[in-house]
Amino acid sequence: MHPSTPAPTERQAQAIALEDEHAAHNYHPLPVVIAEGQGAWVTDIDGRRYLDCLAAYSAVNFGHSNPVLLDAARAQLDRITLTSRAFHNDQLGPFVTELATLAGKDMVLPMNTGAEAVETAIKVSRAWGYRVKGVQDGRANIIVMAGNFHGRTTTIVSFSDDPDAREGFGPYTPGFRTVPYGDASAVAEAIDGDTVAVLVEPIQGEAGIIVPPPSFLPELRALCDERRVLMVADEIQSGLGRVGATFACDLVGVVPDLYLLGKALGGGIVPVSAVVGDRDVLGVLRPGEHGSTFGGNPLAAAVGRAVVALCATGEPQERAELLGRRLHGDLARLIGHGVREVRGAGLWAGIDIEPALATGREVCELLMERGVLAKDTRGSTIRLAPPIVVEPGDLDWAVEQLAEVLRELGER
Ligand SMILES: *Cc1c(COP(=O)(O)O)cnc(C)c1O
């Protein structure tokens, strides 16, 4: 183990021990216990402050304790929070209308978590395949990408190629075909008469912020049109401002048939996810075929409306674009100084650390000691994705801390 692995204070150690004793060990968190957050900063139980460069995997795009989003939540808390979809509520109609408008689509199917949005899209695509395209019942296939991350349900891990996510959780759901990410000709070859959808992250987040060749998504769009297959874009992590546009698909001028949204849609307050598409696709579902007790609840819808209103101004997108240019410019200077490669778009960066220098986890631990919270992924990659409200000076400071960590490791 690296000698400077951070030693938590006694209070933190106690809090961590308590969690470890009774919470299932399905995560390996950094040894920091957070108590409060404001904007891009969080404070631990000992009062130490950290710049949050993960933003809950983009669920906190608009900052911790965002006053506008909190106001919307508070106002709704005092009115009504849950009705179930057995009845109408006065927030759902405006929410789905405003979100559909933001996305340029007709309809929204609200759920809670990202994985539920993905599951919904799988069901909708299959139903569309059987009822509209005319695929024989039970034969539909969906094309997915190597390196994908779409969530943790049994069906979704069935088409993951991450052994940690998948192995030991079979039997697996059939009906998926994996092709290399970024290779449209492989998709063309994999499509047959029973293919109902191509499910794709426009930028792969968990895989290490992998940006496909610029021609990939436009080629996929053309292919889906030609072969009558739905293009389903999982924008759960890439959407709603992160990449300097409302959707990562916007960066290459592509409009998918279905957008999958989650994470930032709940403003970091409540889980809100959605499938957004046109009537000819989402309209295939009939009452009773799909649902969720909490999906579309008035509190979620009220928060979602405030998030959509924020995005409709275009300000978060513009800020992510500007700050992203600054971030990527600064990070590019670290290449050759402990960094092998930097990828990303907007305020979203995947940084490959020289494997000989340290693992991604070690770099994240050293960053934590310096007051920067980041997360490693797949070995020696770390990601930076601070809330879009981050101050430019704070962003510069975080990159300086990374440069310092790499310099120290180089002298080891
Ligand atoms: C996080 C994520 C999901 C799953 O969302 P949950 O809310 O954790 O279920 C799906 N797709 C992508 C691209 C994600 O980043």
> Does the Cβ of 205 fall within 6 Å of ligand 1?
yes
- Is 376 a residue of the active site? no
> Does the Cβ of 149 fall within 6 Å of ligand 1?
yes
| pLDDT tens by residue, 317-329 | 999 999 999 999 9
Identify the CATH number of the domain defined by range 67-314. 3.40.640.10
- Is 164 a residue of the active site? no
Identify the CATH number of the domain defined by range 10-65+316-410. 3.90.1150.10
Is 80 strand, coil or helix?
coil
**Nearest alpha carbon, ligand 1 atom 10:** 150
Ligand 1 center to 114 CA (angstroms): 4
How far CA 290 is from CA of 47, 178, 235, in Å, comes to 45, 26, 21
The angle at the Cα of 63, spanning 58 to 69, to the nearest 5 degrees, equals 105
CB 63 within 8 A of CB 39: yes
Distance separating alpha carbons of residues 374 and 355, to the nearest angstrom: 17
List where CATH 3.40.640.10 sits in the chain. Answer: 67-314
Ligand 1 center to 126 CA (angstroms): 21
3-state SS track over 132-190? HHCCCCCCCEEEEECCCCCCCCHHHHHCCCCHHHHCCCCCCCCCEEEECCCCHHHHHHH
- Is 194 a residue of the active site? no
CB 319 within 8 A of CB 388: yes
Is 347 strand, coil or helix?
coil
CB 301 within 8 A of CB 91: yes
pLDDT digits (tens), the chain, 412 positions: 344 456 778 999 999 999 999 999 999 999 999 999 999 999 999 999 999 999 999 999 999 999 999 999 999 999 999 999 999 999 999 999 999 999 999 999 999 999 999 999 999 999 999 999 999 999 999 999 999 999 999 999 999 999 999 999 999 999 999 999 999 999 999 999 999 999 999 999 999 999 999 999 999 999 999 999 999 999 999 999 999 999 999 999 999 999 999 999 999 999 999 999 999 999 999 999 999 999 999 999 999 999 999 999 999 999 999 999 999 999 999 999 999 999 999 999 999 999 999 999 999 999 999 999 999 998 899 999 999 999 999 999 999 999 999 999 999 8
List where CATH 3.90.1150.10 sits in the chain. Answer: 10-65+316-410
**Nearest alpha carbon, ligand 1 atom 5:** 114
Per annotation, catalytic residue among 44, 62, 263, 294: 263
Cis peptide bond upstream of 171, omega within 30: yes
Question: Of all atoms in ligand 1, which is nearest to the CA of residue 151?
Answer: 4
pTM over 0.75: yes
CB 334 within 8 A of CB 403: yes
